Amino acid sequence: MVTTEGVELLGGNIADVQDSYEYLGIPQANGDHEEAVRQSVIVKYQHRLAFNVVRTLVIITRRSACLNRGSVKKYLQVFGSCETRSVSQLHICLQPYLSSTNNANVNLALMDESEPVPVQLGEKRSCPEDEEEDTPSKKPKFESDHKNGGPPHQDEEEEPEGETNDGEEDGETFADMMKHGLTELDVGILKYVSDHEGFSGILKERYSDFVVNEINKEGKILHLDDLSIPAEAAEEIPEAQSQPEESDVLTEEQKKQLGELQHFKNKEDNVSIEVMDDTKEKRTLVHKAIKTQFAGLETKTEEKEGRKFIVAYHAAGKKALAAPRKHFWPKNRGSFCHFVLYKENKDTMDAINVLSKFLRLRPNMFSYMGTKDKRAITVQEIAVLKITAERLAHLNKCLINLKLGNFCYKNHPLKLGELQGNHFTVIIRNISGTDEQVAQAMTSLRQTGFINYYGMQRFGTTAVPTQQVGRAILKDNWKEVVDLILKPRPGAEKEFLVRCREEWAKTQDPEAALKKLPNKRCVEGQLLRGLSMYGKKNIVTAFGLIPRNNRLMYIHSYQSVVWNTMVSRRIEAFGLKAVEGDLVLKGTTAHVLSAEEAESCSIHDIVMPLPGFDVIYPSHHVGKGYRELLSADGLDIDNMRHKVKDYSLAGAYRRIIIRPSDVSWEVIKYDDPRISLVHSDFEKLENKPAPVFNKEGKYRALRMEFSLPPSTYATMAIREVLKLDTSIKKQTQLNTTWFN
């Protein structure tokens, strides 16, 4: 067993190490593992709460030769303990951390990359199409995950072959690697509206600490509370009473074979079922039973030696996606099946992609009112065209971290922005503020609100902020656009992206760079594919291969920086009162306030424009600052139309102060930092007990709930409460100090 001495530098928290072994299914009796962990902690990680560190080091030091060198390198990069990208340098980097008894094991681990990797991280995935994600490193305070990726690492030049590295002196901590990231200052987030004293805390230490429930257009907070199929669905099937049940047409042996096929990734395998009673009705029942009970399988009828078989197989390839089988759809049933999607630690589009693969649909057959955070538990409404509730409900048997329920049929899809907002339940762990400080901060949030800044997730986490790309697009500088997206950048990324960027910098050959990418659907892959097809002299067309939403994200990011900056100036100049020259909305039209009108207006009525050709600007000196700011970036505020219509900015108006509704809070105490402090919808459905809080617990957490309108950032509300910089860069630095 693991000894206390072996983990004394973890603050005596022996449970963390034991959980690491349990998590991986590794016997605890092996002393070599313990020694490797102990030495690694002594050399590199002399702080508490090193659960993820220990877990990863245990993986690396497994005595069996089951890790390929790519896997070892990935785990090292997660924690920044190996700054080189050269596989040949890995052993050198590992030596300072491992005992001599394990060096032979590391040599075995550095095998050829073509060998299999039987190591499983986390829970086993049951869904064949659910692509594995990289193991996340410990999240810094306040990080909000989004499409632009996770925490970057320091991207340094490869060391010359044969040059030794003592491992520790030149190594970088995660905080060092984040030195190229953005801070709030970089994107115009400068001011607070309250005067209470801030305090520290950890947000999203667990993804279950951040729960988002969508508020639909009727104002109802959505919950997953019903997994049953609507009654009308069963009534709509004619002849149902005269036909045998679907479950009766398949034998137990056939169900077992189909279940195994469903979870295999080899899509060439199949299961053949002979139809003894060869009638069309019997074959139809078998086809339907397979498709409804075993999501992801397609069927066909084949004749062999005069006998008929129904062959079940995995649907795959473009043909299956482009031409899904058409099914009978009753005229009296709404064309769209609406359902509530509950997801954990998964991006909305990732979830849609998983569902579309299992149902053999294009992702655009699904509609929704808004995308939700990845590192969170979220509940939202989804609609899909002509897919039965029965087929959707069967997916619950094999999906991990996704649940579907509350089914109903309607005649319309969902539209982006139709929602009234989102309701948030947020846990901020290990808070330092007194109960009085917490009450003062939350009362201010409820009564006054917060500045409606665009949050840090709007601007990306890499060393090349999205707003820089957006500015280059607006300036029609397409060479700079390509350079910003494809050039090598500080702050490490996935290794294939690093190789792709290096190839582009070296050869400027889009085809050669594209070959370095295993996944061609990322932004870089789409751009390189466009450059390969249309040439480097037709960049506008090549750039058009990137999905429209991604392209518009860049210019909207630039607008957001301008808006944040000008709102900070407005708060600095005039504080929290309406003044002459401010703008308010009358219907959808902006109106400039006179001095007399300003007396009767509240700060909550004031809006500021995002720059564009179809907006007006405040008439006071802050409004005139828009022209100066855009001129400094080489843009003409009087000419915001672009040669390419998609990139013409009409502009919009946004309230500068938001006051949340339904604000409530409590300070809770707990002993175990690993337990969830929120009772989720899924746990309620499973009849799992709600978390019990120990009034004498050694840790304190703030549990806060509030509702916000669409396009408003919850992290900005939490920023106002804690008065801490919410950027990954700053939060990583704070976490590192706290750990030490």
Q: What is the 3-state secondary structure (H, E, C) of 125-163?
A: CCCCCCCCCCCCCCCCCCCCCCCCCCCCECCCCCCCCCC
Sort 446 into a burial class: Cβ within 10 Å, 0-12 / 13-18 / 19+: middle
Q: Is 449 left (phi over 0), alpha (psi -120 to 50) or beta?
A: left
The answer to whether residue 272 sits within a structural domain is yes
- Residue whose C-alpha is closest to residue 492's, from 69, 90, 73: 73
Catalytic residue among 16, 130, 373, 725: 373
321-325, 431-435, 481-485, 494-498, range with the lowest pLDDT: 321-325
Q: Kindly report the CA angle at 388 between 384 and 390, in degrees rounded to 5?
A: 130
What would the two tokens of residue 475 be?
A: 């300036």
Average pLDDT over residues 496-512: 92
Residues 306 and 373 reside in one and the same domain: no
Residues 317 and 331 reside in one and the same domain: no
Q: Is pLDDT of 38 > 70?
A: no
Domain end point (choices 288, 322, 356): 322
Q: Is pLDDT of 396 > 70?
A: yes
Give me the residues paired with residue 215 across strands.
221, 421
Average pLDDT score over the chain? 75
Average pLDDT over residues 441-459: 93
- Is 476 known to be catalytic? no
Residues 687 and 617 reside in one and the same domain: no
**CA 258/CA 733 separation, integer angstroms:** 51
Residues 642 and 729 reside in one and the same domain: no
Number of domains the chain is built from: 4
Residues 578 and 597 reside in one and the same domain: yes
Domain end point (choices 307, 322, 337): 322
Torsions phi, psi for 371 (to 5 deg): -90, 155
What would the two tokens of residue 720 be?
A: 């106002």
Which one-letter DSSP state was computed for residue 212? E
pLDDT digits (tens, 9 = 90+) for 460-474: 766 678 999 999 999
Dihedral angle at the C-alpha atoms of 452, 471, 179, 149, nearest 10 degrees? 80
pLDDT at 298: 79
pLDDT at 327: 56
Residue/partner pairs of 549-552 with CB below 8 Å, 24 or more apart: 550/523, 551/473, 551/646, 551/647, 552/646, 552/647
pLDDT at 167: 32
- Give the CA distances from residue 214 to residues 107, 218, 421, 707, in Å, rounded to whole numbers and listed in that order: 51, 11, 6, 9
- Residue whose C-alpha is closest to residue 101's, from 50, 43, 168, 30: 30
Confidence of residue 107 (pLDDT cuts 50, 70, 90): very low
Residues 336 and 350 reside in one and the same domain: yes
The answer to whether residue 388 sits within a structural domain is yes
310-324, 409-423, 672-686, range with the lowest pLDDT: 310-324
Confidence of residue 435 (pLDDT cuts 50, 70, 90): very high
Domain end point (choices 371, 398, 419): 419
pLDDT at 158: 32
Average pLDDT over residues 316-325: 43
Distance from the first to the final alpha carbon of the chain: 27
**87 or 213: which leads in pLDDT:** 213
**273 or 635: which leads in pLDDT:** 635
Give yes or no for a contact between 527 and 485, defined as CB atoms under 8 angstroms apart: yes
Confidence of residue 293 (pLDDT cuts 50, 70, 90): confident
Q: Is pLDDT of 532 > 80?
A: yes
- Cα Rg of the chain, angstroms: 28
Q: Is pLDDT of 534 > 50?
A: yes
pLDDT at 204: 84
Residues 662 and 650 reside in one and the same domain: no
* Most confident stretch, 107-116, 276-285, 442-451: 442-451
**CA 378/CA 656 separation, integer angstroms:** 27
Average pLDDT over residues 111-129: 33
**CA 261/CA 89 separation, integer angstroms:** 42
Q: How does DSSP assign 494-546, residue by residue? A: -HHHHHHHHHHHHH--HHHHHTT-S-TTSHHHHHHHHHHHH-TT-HHHHHTTS
pLDDT at 146: 37
State which residues form the domain around 596.
Answer: 552-655
Q: Which residue is associated with the tokens 């249309």?
A: 534
- Give the CA distances from residue 313 to residues 21, 131, 266, in Å, rounded to whole numbers and listed in that order: 38, 19, 10
**CA 176/CA 56 separation, integer angstroms:** 20
Task: Calculate what percentage of the chain has a pLDDT beyond 70.
Answer: 68
The answer to whether residue 572 sits within a structural domain is yes
pLDDT at 647: 93
Confidence of residue 737 (pLDDT cuts 50, 70, 90): low
Average pLDDT over residues 698-706: 94
Confidence of residue 522 (pLDDT cuts 50, 70, 90): confident
Average pLDDT over residues 141-166: 33
With 0.75 as the threshold, say if the pTM is over it: no
Average pLDDT over residues 678-694: 92
The answer to whether residue 277 sits within a structural domain is yes
Give yes or no for a contact between 368 and 416, defined as CB atoms under 8 angstroms apart: yes
Give the CATH number, domain containing residue 370. 3.30.70.3160
Q: Kindly report the CA angle at 31 between 29 and 36, in degrees rounded to 5?
A: 130
Residues 313 and 347 reside in one and the same domain: no
The answer to whether residue 217 sits within a structural domain is no
pLDDT at 7: 39
Residues 346 and 394 reside in one and the same domain: yes
pLDDT at 730: 66
Confidence of residue 492 (pLDDT cuts 50, 70, 90): low
Q: Kindly report the CA angle at 492 between 9 and 504, in degrees rounded to 5?
A: 160
Average pLDDT over residues 694-721: 93
The answer to whether residue 634 sits within a structural domain is yes
Residues 367 and 441 reside in one and the same domain: no
Helix (H) or strand (E) holding 214: strand 210-215
- Residues with Cβ < 8 Å from 687, sequence gap 6 or more? none
**CA 390/CA 394 separation, integer angstroms:** 6
The answer to whether residue 521 sits within a structural domain is no
CB neighbourhood size of 6 (10 A): 21
**CA 348/CA 497 separation, integer angstroms:** 23
Helix (H, G, I), strand (E, B) or coil at 691: coil
Residues 308 and 393 reside in one and the same domain: no
pLDDT at 735: 58
Helix (H, G, I), strand (E, B) or coil at 426: strand
Q: How many residues does the chain have?
A: 740
pLDDT digits (tens, 9 = 90+) for 217-238: 999 999 999 999 987 644 444 4
**CA 456/CA 729 separation, integer angstroms:** 11
Residues 580 and 618 reside in one and the same domain: yes
Confidence of residue 109 (pLDDT cuts 50, 70, 90): very low
- Give me the helices (H) in 95-228, please: 100-109, 174-177
Give the CATH number, domain containing residue 300. 3.30.1370
The answer to whether residue 343 sits within a structural domain is yes
